[in-house]
Amino acid sequence: MLIRPATPQDRPAIWSIIGPVIRAGETYTLDPAQGESEALAYWLGPDKETFVAEEDGTILGTYYLRPNQAGGGSHVCNCGYMTAANATGRGIARRMAEHSLAHARTRGYRAMQFNFVVSTNDSAVRLWQSLGFQTVGRLPRAFHHPTQGYVDALVMFHPLDH
């Protein structure tokens, strides 16, 4: 599997991945009603470096990396990852996360922060923990899950040594 920077030619493939995740509204705090142009403007925004995970010419996942804050907070980065619905369970998110941690180090970031991990998303929480993320915050009932109702969200943090 190759992880490489996204190009304009990848836009349809990226939308085919992120569209269903956004519409489901179970893991990201994005408006589930937003359309393709708005979603791609966000995912490929100028504040972000966006990557795709490709295997045999097929894009199976995508992630972005950006500064989590400006000014005095710009040494901490933030990422978002999404995997194609038909490619889950194959370790693609882990590969992208490992890639992002390495890339963040090359960019000089001192830490990576996830601002909003839905606490009931067990597989994501376990994955981030296995990669060295620690839960540094718990936001009570901060996420309204479409089927589970109000659930906590976690703030997770990974220092990056240089």
Q: For its own copies, which is the closer residue by CB, 86 or 147?
A: 147
Give the chain's end-to-end CA distance (angstroms, integer): 27
CA atoms within 13 A of residue 31's CA, in its CB half-sphere: 9
Q: Quick one: 28 exposed, middle or buried, by C-beta within 10 A (0-12, 13-18, 19+)? A: middle
Cβ nearer to its own copies, comparing 53 with 112? 112
Do 133 and 158 contact (CB within 8 A), yes or no?
A: yes
Within positions 142 to 161, which residues make up the interface with its own copies, using CB under 8 A? Answer: 142-146, 150, 153, 155, 157, 159
Q: How far is the CB of 73 from its own copies (least distance, A)?
A: 4
Q: Shortest distance, CB of residue 12 to its own copies, whole angstroms?
A: 23
Cβ proximity to its own copies, 10 vs 128, nearer residue: 128
Structure tokens at 19: 């569209």
3-state secondary structure of 11: helix
Q: Which is nearer to its own copies, 67 or 90 (CB)?
A: 67
2 lies in the binding site for its own copies (CB under 8 A): no
Phi and psi based region of residue 132 (left: phi greater than 0; alpha: psi -120 to 50; beta: remaining): left
With respect to its own copies, which residue has the nearer C-beta, 72 or 89? 72
Contacting residue, 8, 46, 57, 71, with its own copies by CB under 8 A: 71
- Do the Cβ atoms of 63 and 79 come closer than 8 Å? yes
Query: Minimum distance from CB of 7 to its own copies (Å)?
Result: 27
- Yes or no: say if 78 and 112 are a contact pair by the CB < 8 Å rule: yes
Q: Which of 30, 87, 127, 131 touches its own copies by CB under 8 A?
A: 30
Tokens of 99: 């890639």
User: Which residues of the chain form contacts with its own copies (CB under 8 A)?
Assistant: 25-26, 28-32, 69-76, 110-111, 113, 115-116, 118, 136-146, 150, 153, 155, 157, 159
